[in-house]
Structure 1
Amino acid sequence: MKYSEALAYKKEALKKADESVLKSYHIIIVPADTEESSKYIQDFSKKPDDFNDSSCKKYCSNDEYEVVSFNKEEESH
């Protein structure tokens, strides 16, 4: 899907998500390409606060995106 579609999809998913889901999972827009998506998620996971929805555009070569959710890793300090 195009970026604007992915953004709308993410907003809808966030509206429907249970609070416990929002606390436990990242819901983000990623490039549809598996390699690009993997690289983006790796970088995102290191510093989630440094990223916003449009950050994924820098990683995407074909303007195709998808919305994914994955477990927030517990930070050990």
Structure 2
Amino acid sequence: MKYSEALTYKKEALKKADESVLKSYHIIIVPADTEESAQYIEAFSKNPDDFNDNSCKKYCSNDEYEVVSFSKEDES
């Protein structure tokens, strides 16, 4: 999906998610390409506060995106 579609999808997912999901999982927009997505998630995971929704664009070569969720690391 295009970036604007992914942004809308993410906003809907955040609205529907309950608090426990929001506390335990990152819900982010990533490039649809598997290799680019892996690179982005790796960089994002190191310091999520440095990233916003637009950050995924510089990792994407074909303007195709998807919304994914993955468990947050233990921050204890």
- TM-score scaled to structure 2, two decimals? 0.98
Alpha-carbon distance in 2 for matches of 1:61, 1:53: 16
RMSD of the TM alignment (CA)? 0.6
Between the aligned partners of 1:59 and 1:37, the Cα distance in structure 2 is: 8
Alpha-carbon distance between aligned partners in 2 of 1:45 and 1:26, rounded to the nearest angstrom: 9
Cα deviation 1:48-73 (Å, max 9, x = unaligned): 00000000000000000000000001
**Structure 1 stretches (4+) deviating beyond 6 angstroms?**
none
CA distance in 1 between partners of 2:45 and 2:74 (Å): 11
Unaligned runs of 5+ in 2: none
- The alignment of Structure 1 onto Structure 2 pairs a total of residues equal to 76
Gaps of 5+ in 1: none
* Aligned mates of 1:36, 1:21 — CA distance in 2: 25
